[in-house]
Amino acid sequence: AADAVSGVLDGETHTSDGVRIRLLANINLLSEMALALKIGAEGIGLYRSEFPFLIRSSFPSEAEQYQVYRRLFEDMPGKTVTVRTLDVGGEKVLSHVDSGTEVNPELGLRSIRFSLLHRDVFEAQIRAILRAAEGAFAPRIMFPMISGLDEFREARSIVYACMESLKEEGLGFHENPEIGMMVELPAALGIIEDFAKEADFFSIGTNDLVQYMLAVDRSNPKVAHYYQPWHPSVLRSLARIADAGRKAGIDVSVCGEMGHESAFIPFLLGIGIRTLSLDPQFMPAVQQQIQKIDLQKAESHAAELLGMASTKALSEALGLV
Ligand code: PEP
Ligand code: MG
């Protein structure tokens, strides 16, 4: 796959007027690390940790998970590495867990809800991440599908509890990872400023944010034409999340598919996004696009789009039609 991709990154990425943009990699399988390294990714913005869980017939043990996560940190020395905790359920079904049939799995027992219910599974994962991150430069733990402040606090308190037990057991671990969250549920928007005071970073999951905000199944072709990332409510929400992050001084990245789509990149930079996390294959083209963007122009472009309320007008202004 690496050979099929043209080009590698030419050092750090800056807009034409010199504003630095970080390009981090989305990784699903460890085998994709080779491509991320070859292309020159500046770190990992999203490791989808559920993949080793999905391809097995039982839960990987803490020791097995440690080996996987250790590779991530060892392959990216001195760089940001973001491990997202288990995001199962919905379209990602674990064959070995009988969760019963759910009429509405996308709204069901998934993701952080699954982890908070199956605490033993969650703790094994957190312990493995903390241990694997020992000595790492900038490890980040990220919770998916966070809907409320108490849920975030509960998940974070489990990380702290795991640190306590690791200390008691005399095992080495990283004592100060950044603890952040995916912003991908509309419920998070109304309290985004409150989240920004507690989370160490945000990563915007536009795939799910669009799905849940517009009530459109992201994988159902019958309603694909309703899946409109350019919907004004989506664009204004992204701006609000970026604002909240900037005011609180925390990093806000976009790790959903919008982050590599050329039509949206000027808008994302224009609202203040400075970190994009994307599949490594898209990085060279995205870097080339960013190098031609003048940030002041991107800011006026974003302001103009944020003033529009018609999806038709927006899709035209974004050059999508
Ligand atoms: C997202 O929802 O945008 C995202 C990056 O996570 P996933 O695609 O794994 O749900
Ligand atoms: Mg998601």
Please check the confidence at residue 1 and state whether its pLDDT lies above 60.
no
Please check the confidence at residue 254 and state whether its pLDDT lies above 60.
yes
What's the gap in Å between 165 CA and the centre of ligand 2? 30
How confident is residue 57, by pLDDT bands cut at 50, 70 and 90? confident
What's the gap in Å between 295 CA and the centre of ligand 2? 28
**Three-class secondary structure assignment of the chain:** CHHHCCCCCCCCEECCCCCEEEEEEEECCHHHHHHHHHHCCCEEEEEECHHHHHCCCCCCCHHHHHHHHHHHHHHCCCCEEEEECCCCECCECCCCCCCCCCCCHHHCCCCHHHHHHCHHHHHHHHHHHHHHCCCCCEEEEEECCCCCHHHHHHHHHHHHHHHHHHHHCCCCCCCCCEEEEEECCHHHHCCHHHHHHHCCEEEECHHHHHHHHCCCCCCCHHHHHHCCCCCHHHHHHHHHHHHHHHHHCCEEEECCHHHHCCCCHHHHHHCCCCEEEECHHHHHHHHHHHHCCCHHHHHHHHHHHHCCCCHHHHHHHCCCC
How confident is residue 98, by pLDDT bands cut at 50, 70 and 90? low
Looking at per-residue pLDDT, the higher value among 26 and 54 belongs to 26
Atom 1 (ligand 1): residue with closest C-alpha? 205
Q: How confident is the model over 190-208, as pLDDT tens digits? A: 999 999 999 999 999 999 9
pLDDT of residue 238: 98
Which ligand 1 atom is at minimum distance from the Cα of 90? Answer: 10
0.90 surpassed by pTM: yes
pLDDT of residue 91: 67
pLDDT of residue 90: 74
Please check the confidence at residue 6 and state whether its pLDDT lies above 90.
no
Atom 6 (ligand 1): residue with closest C-alpha? 205
Please check the confidence at residue 219 and state whether its pLDDT lies above 60.
yes
Q: How confident is the model over 131-160, as pLDDT tens digits? A: 999 999 999 999 999 999 999 999 999 999
pLDDT of residue 311: 97
Q: Is the Cβ atom of 186 under 6 angstroms away from ligand 1?
A: no
Q: Is the Cβ atom of 255 under 6 angstroms away from ligand 1?
A: yes
pLDDT of residue 279: 97
Q: What percent of the chain has pLDDT over 70?
A: 97
Looking at per-residue pLDDT, the higher value among 3 and 65 belongs to 65
What's the gap in Å between 205 CA and the centre of ligand 2? 5
Q: What is the mean pLDDT of the chain?
A: 95
pLDDT of residue 5: 60
Q: How confident is the model over 107-119, as pLDDT tens digits? A: 999 999 999 999 9
- Residues with C-beta atoms within 5 A of ion ligand 2: 184, 205, 208
How confident is residue 2, by pLDDT bands cut at 50, 70 and 90? very low
